[in-house]
Amino acid sequence: MEQHLKYIITTIAGMALLIVLYSEKKEVSYMSENFNDLTPEEERVIVYKGTEAPFSGKYDKFFESGVYTCRRCGSLLYRSDDKFDSGCGWPAFDDEVPGAVKRVPDRDGRRTEITCAKCGGHLGHVFEGERLTDKNVRHCVNSISMDFVPAHNIKKAYFAGGCFWGVEYYLEKLKGVLDVSSGYMGGHVPDPTYRQVCTGTTGHYEAVKVIYDDRKTDFETVAREFFEIHDPTQEGGQGPDIGSQYESVVFYNNDEEKAVTGKLIEILESKGYETVTKILPVLHFYRAEEYHQDYYINKGTTPYCHGKVKRF
């Protein structure tokens, strides 16, 4: 009986491990084509969950204005406004970009590990209750797990092209894109809910905010991709999603972005595409509810009304 019980326990544990490994593999496979090459030391820390020596990391006493991204996949992790000097020997943050960091029980059974939510890369550990800042949280992060993007190199672009789930899914794959979030733009209702926008009466568009590093990409590159992942010739919606909230729009921050968008539309029309995409100035962007963020990644599926079509 005892042997039989041990067999059952071992089998269940084995199945649980396979489920975890499959889940991690599915998470990682989405981004793996865009992974940066790692040095052996970076791989030791990021992939095999090692730790760099205290006070040795380049970001320990570094306090320039900007953002910190995952060294492996480039996703946005932390903002410099949330960084503080904890004296522990590693970079410390008391907050993360929403949805960017995953907490998991550490293998030592005592601490809580933090990993990049997009690629699973090891960042370090998180501690609470130390009272080092008002937020009472310390993300203790290996410098080697991160890259830094100076504030003056961070740019934002806004697009609407049907259900924001699909637009976010594809634009996040672009090299140089740090983060894409789903939300609502335009309209006359402040801080609208998804249910309100879905009525088509608030005047909002389902939009995405793209944050990118202008050293690695530019507005035109992102806009070209936008025109190739949705149908800019469909009026009144996108695919099966019909309604004004699903219309195609490029929102411009300045005259340069407006001119670039106009040029791209002219190119498309010269190729026979009867483009209906609107060009509007940037309005207030309301971030959508958290369950909309990284929707397809979290669900493990792919978009049903968006797809890559070569048009340029």
State residue 5's pLDDT score.
43
Cα–Cα distance for residue pair 250/232, rounded to 1 Å: 11
User: Where residue 16 falls among pLDDT bands split at 50, 70, 90?
Assistant: very low
% of the chain beyond a pLDDT of 90: 85
Cα–Cα distance for residue pair 87/242, rounded to 1 Å: 55
Q: Which domain holds residue 77?
A: 34-141
State residue 229's pLDDT score.
98
Residues 6+ apart with CB under 8 A from 24: 120
Q: Is residue 207 part of a domain?
A: yes
- Sign for the pseudo-dihedral over CA of 182, 277, 284, 211: positive
Q: What is the mean pLDDT of residues 51-57?
A: 97
The pTM of this model reads 0.84
State residue 193's pLDDT score.
97
Q: Is residue 12 part of a domain?
A: no
Residues 6+ apart with CB under 8 A from 21: none
Do residues 290 and 176 share a domain?
yes
Do residues 285 and 164 share a domain?
yes
Domain boundary among 109, 141, 173: 141
State residue 143's pLDDT score.
98
- The 10s digit of each residue's pLDDT in 160-203 is 999 999 999 999 999 999 999 999 999 999 999 999 999 999 99
Q: What is the mean pLDDT of residues 203-230?
A: 98
Do residues 188 and 274 share a domain?
yes
Q: Looking at residue 35, what DSSP letter applies?
A: P
Which residues have a catalytic role annotated?
Answer: 140, 163
- The enclosing domain of 216 has a CATH number of 3.30.1060.10
